[in-house]
Amino acid sequence: MMIGNGMFIPRRMHRNPAFRKLNVSSIFVLFEFLYRRQVTQVPTKEGRGKEWIISNNGEIFFTYDEAKNNFGIPRSTFRRAIDQLVDLGFIDITHHGGGMMKDASKYAISERWKEYGKKGFLKNLDQKIHEAWGLRKRTGKRQQEKTDQ
């Protein structure tokens, strides 16, 4: 949440075991994602008080070119940071862009990190979608041959 000249970081995030696994580049990329959030205050369901929601969640852009040109982060380092943030539950990829097509990926801030280390933790959003639809991940031809033997 950006309030004035500051940025809100959820309470206890820095003490969570998932946060402690992040490398320096991943922390920087996470902070940039948190900075890019747009937050809005809305009434709570009970009608008493207000709460903050991310109004652009799922529509946050952070391209490889921006990472390289604006922050000096090499493509490979940025890719590893994104992978680590997804795996540990800090962000989700809501749209996989295609670099050759000039189609940028879109991201959402996630709170899956709160469940990190617990039995129900999902490593990424794709797992949740696959489970909801009763699908299994595809295995390559080589993997199937190995399991058949």
pLDDT digits (tens, 9 = 90+) for 17-31: 999 999 999 999 999
The average pLDDT across 5-25 equals 90
pLDDT digits (tens, 9 = 90+) for 76-107: 999 999 999 999 999 999 988 886 777 889 99
Nearest Cα residue to 84 out of 139, 138, 20, 132: 20
- For residue 137, name the pLDDT band (cuts at 50, 70, 90): very low
CA–CA gap between residue 149 and residue 147 (Å, rounded): 6
- For residue 1, name the pLDDT band (cuts at 50, 70, 90): very low
pTM as predicted: 0.76
